[in-house]
Chains A and B, each alone.
Chain A
Amino acid sequence: AQSVTQLGSHVSVSEGALVLLRCNYSSSVPPYLFWYVQYPNQGLQLLLKYTTGATLVKGINGFEAEFKKSETSFHLTKPSAHMSDAAEYFCAVREYTNAGKSTFGDGTTLTVKP
């Protein structure tokens, strides 16, 4: 069975500061991992994904995430926050044996202060 835990439902940073959103997963097989962003009143947009290969994954808008198997983590980072990064972020896990069904974390709301 697959599951996702996002640590911290709300994260607040100052503009220009480091963004760190935490995600831990559980999976019985090698997982595929995803980060999505959701702006108010919009659908989810893929930020980045890890499937195989390089464990440091770069995504859109300057975000990146590192897959750490030993820690079962897939934390999302961005070196310098921008006001436009304010949104809700979801981590998701998918097992290739599971008909493409994703399990989502509860989400982390990122607030960026000027």
Chain B
Amino acid sequence: NAGVTQTPKFRVLKTGQSMTLLCAQDMNHEYMYWYRQDPGMGLRLIHYSVGEGTTAKGEVPDGYNVSRLKKQNFLLGLESAAPSQTSVYFCASSYRASGEETQYFGPGTRLLVL
């Protein structure tokens, strides 16, 4: 049981390049989330998914797209990277979204956009 895993762990992009971050969970969780963490700030929600084939916007969705084609995977895409997207990206999942459910976090992906 690996929990929540993220690929890659670290990436450097040039402005305008694209990339996809992969989040995978093996806990059969329905809900998955993408957050970004910037220095001196807490995590901010980018997009989330309440089930396979469904996605929704979070607090800071601009410049990102997501897909949930399989229940266990949640992909975060950057179509044209910008320096403002330099951040640490965390994926999380939970069994339900009843509020009290524990969210399990991945180890993070560090992204540097030059």
Q: Is the CB of A44 within 8 A of B43?
A: yes
Which residues between 91 and 114 of chain B lie within 8 Å of chain A, taking CB atoms? 92, 94, 96-103, 105-108
Minimum C-beta distance from A5 to chain B (A): 10
A100 touching B103 in the complex, CB below 8 Å, given contacts A43-B90, A43-B108, A44-B90: yes
> Please, how many angstroms separate the alpha-carbon atoms of A49 and B104 in the complex?
13
Note all chain B residues with C-beta closer than 8 A to A66.
none
Q: Is the CB of A49 within 8 A of B97?
A: no
Q: Is the CB of B105 within 8 A of A51?
A: no
Other-chain residue from A4, A32, A41, A102 in contact with B45 (beta carbon distance below 8 A): A102
Chain A CB within 8 A of B61 CB: no
- Closest Cβ neighbor of A105 among chain B residues: B42
Q: Is the CB of B56 within 8 A of A99?
A: yes
> Please, how many angstroms separate the alpha-carbon atoms of A103 and B99 in the complex?
12
> Please, how many angstroms separate the alpha-carbon atoms of A32 and B99 in the complex?
6
Interface residues on A, range: 20 to 34
**9 nearest A-B residue pairs (beta carbon):** A100-B97, A104-B42, A96-B99, A51-B100, A43-B105, A44-B105, A104-B43, A32-B99, A43-B107
Other-chain residue from B44, B96, B101, B106 in contact with A43 (beta carbon distance below 8 A): B106
Minimum C-beta distance from A58 to chain B (A): 15
Minimum C-beta distance from A99 to chain B (A): 5
> Please, how many angstroms separate the alpha-carbon atoms of A106 and B42 in the complex?
4
Supplied contacts A43-B106, A98-B99, A100-B96, 13 more A-B pairs, CB within 8 Å: A32-B99, A42-B108, A44-B90, A49-B102, A96-B99, A96-B100, A99-B31, A100-B48, A101-B45, A101-B58, A101-B97, A102-B43, A106-B42
Q: Is the CB of B107 within 8 A of A100?
A: no
- Closest Cβ neighbor of A43 among chain B residues: B105
Minimum C-beta distance from B90 to chain A (A): 6
- Closest Cβ neighbor of B50 among chain A residues: A99
Minimum C-beta distance from B31 to chain A (A): 6
- Closest Cβ neighbor of A96 among chain B residues: B99
Chain A CB within 8 A of B41 CB: yes
Binary per-residue interface labels of chain A (50-63) against chain B in the complex, 1 for a CB within 8 Å, 0 otherwise = 01100000000000
